[in-house]
Amino acid sequence: MKLAVIEGDGIGREVVPAAVEVLDVFGLEFEKVPLELGYARWERTGTAMSDEDIETIKGCDAVLFGAITTVPDPNYKSVLLTIRKELDLYANVRPVKPLPGIMGVTGRNDFDFVIVRENTEGLYSGIEEIGQDLSWTKRVVTRKGSERIAEYACKLAKQRKNKLTIVHKSNVLKSDKLFLDVCRQVASAHGVEYSDMLVDSMAYSLMMHPERYDVVVTTNLFGDILSDMCAALVGSLGLVPSANIGENYAFFEPVHGSAPDIAGKGISNPLAAILCVKMLLEWMGKVKEASLIDGAISHVLENKLITPDLGGTVSTAEVGHAVAEYVKNALKT
């Protein structure tokens, strides 16, 4: 198994090493391929990512990614969007689950759902024209794109509570009617219980009644917005991981960005990146190993081995060591 390790910029350089320390404890057969991409690379060389880097990434099986600071160049093509497109990582998956002792903005911890966002089309089609007086972006919804994201969401729902919520805005955006119809058809074919919600009502409902949801499937932009909003339910951006999944490839990244305001201070929370390792292990079918990470995270939270964003005083590296140590001991027993 070949794993590209892309720390990127800012706190990516702190949280990814902590996550890799945890991964290493499992002693699994990984060939790690470190790649320097992003803003710092662009400053040094004028390129954030080359065609050769894309080929190197394609030669791996998965990516563990930190964060990249957006390059201030009008011609800059997002590294993340490019990788998602090149590798056809069509499903963006974000579990939204409370962690022991941590309360988010709503002060509740009775929810456990997953947002499955279509990751390759919608308003992120990249088909646009920017003019002085008129700018437009084409919103693309295809049957194939809708079918495969609905299939992914339904398979996930079947492993969970068999409940799917289809989020759309088909009353205004006629392109969403295709998405909605296809999702309904796929859910029926799988025998998954489904309902649908307009995205604006859904935003409100997720804050008021997050316990109602199990698997939520939606288009690209809506999923982007809703999933960031849901980080507030969990409590800190530093606690939410995500995966971008393709046919035979997966790319794992924390939901947070490069956080230049705290970068270099060693105080960033590495738990989102460590939860990315958990998602990587699950994707590899290493479910038992993945569950040890849950145990380790409960242990550090209960013992207040936490970074300042959660009210603690412990450093990024120390949290990483504590999680790794717990897993090491758990593997011995």
Catalytic residue list? 124, 169, 200, 224, 228
**Are the beta carbons of 147 and 153 closer than 8 angstroms?**
no
Three-state DSSP state, 113: strand
Instruction: Decide if residue 268 touches ligand ATP (CB under 6 A).
Output: yes
Burial status of residue 49 (CB atoms within 10 A of its CB: 0-12, 13-18, 19 or more): buried
Single-letter amino acid, residue 242: S
Instruction: Decide if residue 67 touches ligand ATP (CB under 6 A).
Output: yes
The dihedral over CA atoms of 121, 247, 251, 186, expressed in degrees to the nearest 10, equals: 50
Size of the site for ligand ATP (CB under 6 A): 18
For ligand ATP, give the closer residue by CB, 186 or 230: 230
* Site string (270-299) toward ligand ATP, x via CB under 6 A: --x---------------------------
Token duo for residue 320: 């990483």
Stretch that binds ligand ATP, among 26-34, 106-114, 116-124, 258-266 (CB under 6 A): 258-266
Select the residue interacting with ligand ATP from 269, 275, 318, 319 (CB under 6 A).
Answer: 269
Instruction: Decide if residue 309 touches ligand ATP (CB under 6 A).
Output: yes
Select the residue interacting with ligand ATP from 256, 296, 299, 305 (CB under 6 A).
Answer: 256
Query: Residue 321 contacts by C-beta under 8 Å, 6 or more apart in sequence?
Result: 21
For ligand ATP, give the closer residue by CB, 100 or 191: 100
Select the residue interacting with ligand ATP from 258, 290, 292, 319 (CB under 6 A).
Answer: 258
Stretch that binds ligand ATP, among 45-53, 211-219, 252-260, 297-305 (CB under 6 A): 252-260
Stretch that binds ligand ATP, among 53-61, 66-74, 166-174, 196-204 (CB under 6 A): 66-74
Stretch that binds ligand ATP, among 71-79, 89-97, 114-122, 265-273 (CB under 6 A): 265-273
The nearest distance, CB 290 to ligand ATP, in angstroms, is 20
Q: How far is Cα 119 from Cα 251, in angstroms, rounded to an integer?
A: 12
Instruction: Decide if residue 218 touches ligand ATP (CB under 6 A).
Output: no
Q: How far is Cα 223 from Cα 237, in angstroms, rounded to an integer?
A: 16
Stretch that binds ligand ATP, among 64-72, 128-136, 143-151, 202-210 (CB under 6 A): 64-72
* DSSP state string for 199-250: HHHHHHHHHH-GGG-SEEEE-HHHHHHHHHHHHHHHS-GGG-EEEEE-SS-E
**How many angstroms separate the first and last alpha carbons of the chain?**
26
**Residues between 4 and 33 with contacts to ligand ATP, criterion CB under 6 A:** 11, 15
Instruction: Decide if residue 259 touches ligand ATP (CB under 6 A).
Output: yes
Give which of 156, 74, 80 is closest to 124, Cα–Cα.
Answer: 80
**Residues between 154 and 213 with contacts to ligand ATP, criterion CB under 6 A:** none
For ligand ATP, give the closer residue by CB, 59 or 101: 101
Alpha helices, DSSP H only, in the chain?
Answer: 12-25, 39-45, 51-58, 79-86, 143-159, 175-190, 199-208, 220-234, 271-283, 287-302, 316-332
For ligand ATP, give the closer residue by CB, 145 or 241: 241
Instruction: Decide if residue 69 touches ligand ATP (CB under 6 A).
Output: yes
Lookup result for tokens 């390792």: 277
Residues that bind ligand ATP (CB under 6 A): 11, 15, 67, 69-70, 237-238, 256-262, 268-269, 272, 309
